[in-house]
Amino acid sequence: MEERMPLIGEEFPKMEVVTTHGVSNLPGDYKGKWFILFSHPADFTPVCTTEFVAFQNLMGEFKKLNTELIALSVDQVFSHIKWVQWIKEELKVEIQFPVIADDTGNVSKKLSLIHPGKGSNTVRAVFIIDPEGIIRSIIYYPQELGRNMDEIVRMVKGLQISDKEKVALPAGWPDNELVKDHVIIPPASDIETAEKRPKEYDCFDWWFCHKKL
């Protein structure tokens, strides 16, 4: 059976992986926590190095969100170890999250991380997985463009708020041009609720209502 890209809303594929912190079972070892799996094209490359430093510098923020980080590329574990050591020695940043060694390519195939048009390296992908092991977001970047880490933090915050409050988040939240830091109320699904909405919330119309958390 041919592997296909997993989709948002599906369970993250079960797999055993070798990392710089030892063997790990995904998603089981992260049950009860959110986790972000991000792939990078290769060790000892400039853009990937900037991303590792950026992710590490935000680890405290992710911890507050009950979120762990785990990286991946098709390099061997020995390369990962040496690169992480180099970052610590030369850039004075200690990488504390595990890095998956996928030199067989098996993990990348399951997650569709190797695109034929971009060679044999893994693309820059981000998977956000919730405490039940469900994929909540997938982002793909070209090799030449580094990720915006603040957006990844924003996405985790937004998903957690959406789950807790049963609301949606506007463009650019929490600084939207129309509703500022408000959240969006799900559209009414019946006439009675539609008529009540403008009396209960701030609304542009019955189908576009918002509130402050």
Is residue 209 annotated as a catalytic residue, yes or no?
no
Instruction: State whether the Cα torsion 189-195-198-203 is positive or negative.
Output: positive
Diameter over CA atoms, the chain: 64
Contact (Cβ atoms closer than 8 angstroms) between residue 178 and residue 166: no
Q: How many residues does the chain have?
A: 213
Contact (Cβ atoms closer than 8 angstroms) between residue 130 and residue 136: yes
Q: Which residues pair with 50 in a beta bridge?
A: none
Catalytic residue among 18, 37, 48, 70: 48
**Among candidates 61, 66, 53, 21, which has minimal Cα distance to 146?**
53
Core vs surface per residue 67-104: b (16+ CB within 10 A) or e: bbbbbbbbbebebbeebbeebeeeeebebebbbbbbbe
CA distances from 52 to 16, 83, 97 (A): 23, 10, 9
What does the alpha-carbon distance between residue 152 and residue 156 come to, in Å, rounded to a whole number? 6
User: Phi-psi bin for 161: left (phi > 0), alpha (psi -120 to 50), beta?
Assistant: alpha
Residues annotated as catalytic (active site), given as ranges = 48
